[in-house]
A and B are shown apart, each in its own frame.
Chain A
Amino acid sequence: MMSFLADYIYYIGAFGLILIGFYIILIKHNLIKVIIGLGILDTGVNLFLISVGYITKGTAPIFSGPGIDSEHMVDPVPQALVLTAIVIGVAVLALALSLAIRLYQHYDTLNLRKIREQKW
Chain B
Amino acid sequence: MRKAVAIVLLIIVTVGISLSLAKIPFGAPKTKVGKRYIEEGIEDTGATNIVTSVVVNYRGFDTLGEVTVLFIAAIGLGVVLTTSKREEMRKIQPASLILYTGCRLLFPLILVFGTYVFVHGHLTPGGGFQGGAIIASGFLLIYLGCRERRINRVVSNLAESLGGLIFVVIGLLGLVFGGYFLFNFLPKGTANALFSAGIIPIVYIAIGFKVGSELAGIIDNLIEES
Contacts and interface: CB of A to CB of B under 8 A. Distances in A.
Direct contact of A and B (CB under 8 A): yes
Interface of A: 7-8, 10-11, 15, 19, 22-23, 26-27, 51-56, 60-65, 70, 73, 75-77, 79-81, 83-84, 87-88, 90-92, 94-95, 97-99, 101-102
A87 B214 CA distance: 12
Interface of B is mostly: helix
Interface of A is mostly: helix
Contacts of A62: 48-51, 124-125
B77 interface: yes
Contact of B28 (A55, A73, A95, A97): A55
A8 B26 CA distance: 7
Interface in B26-43: 26-31, 33-34, 37-39, 41-42
B169 interface: no
Contacts of B14: 15, 19
15 contacts: A7-B26, A26-B9, A54-B26, A60-B51, A64-B48, A70-B38, A79-B54, A81-B62, A87-B66, A92-B73, A94-B74, A94-B77, A97-B222, A98-B221, A101-B226
B34 A76 contact: yes
B73 A79 contact: no
Interface residues of B, number: 58
Interface string B210-226: 00000000100110011
Contacts, number: 134
Contacts of A101: 80-81, 222, 225-226
Contact of B13 (A10, A22, A53, A73): A22
Contact of B38 (A7, A27, A76, A102): A76
A99 to B, nearest CB: 6
B109 interface: no
Contacts of A88: 66, 69
A75 B77 CA distance: 36
B59 A80 contact: yes
B98 interface: no
B24 interface: yes
Interface in B7-33: 7, 9-10, 13-14, 17-18, 21, 24-31, 33
